[in-house]
Amino acid sequence: MDPKGPERLKEILSRLFAARGWGRQQDRFHLERAWSDAAGTEYSSITRVAGIKRRILEVEVNGAIPLQELSQFHKRSILERLRKAMPGTTITDIKFRSGTW
C-alpha cells in the first residue's frame, strides 16, 4: 500500500490526457480560435493555421491577393492581438504561405 494514500484524480487525468494526446488537441483548438478572433471574419474564412514552428505561426492563405494583404498590411496588428489572446504562448512572427483546401 502506498504511504501517501490514494492518487489524486487530477494526476490520473493529467496522465490520461498526455497519453491520448488530448492536451495537444486542446492547444490546437485554442490556437485556431485565437487566430480566428485575431484575423477577423474577413480573413478567418480564407485562412487556416498550419502550426507553430520555432515560435513562428504558419498560416495558409487561400488566394494571392489576401496573402499579400495579410503579409504587408495586417501582420503586425494580428500579431499583437494574438499575443494578447495567448499570453502563455510566445509567437515572434507570422509566416503566410499560399495554400488551398
Coil, helix or strand at residue 57: strand
pLDDT class for 28, splitting at 50, 70, 90? confident
pTM above 0.85, yes or no: no
Report CA-CA distances (Å) from 91 to 23, 83, 101: 19, 7, 25
Q: How far apart are CA 12 and CA 60, in angstroms?
A: 37
What's the pLDDT score for residue 4?
73
Enumerate the domain spans of the chain. Answer: 9-98
Q: How far apart are CA 87 and CA 42, in angstroms?
A: 24
Architecture of domain 9-98: 2-Layer Sandwich (3.30)
Neighbouring residues of 89: CB distance < 8 A, sequence distance ≥ 6:
31, 52
pLDDT class for 11, splitting at 50, 70, 90? confident
Which tens digit of pLDDT belongs to each residue from 29-75? 899 999 999 999 999 999 999 999 999 999 999 999 999 999 999 99
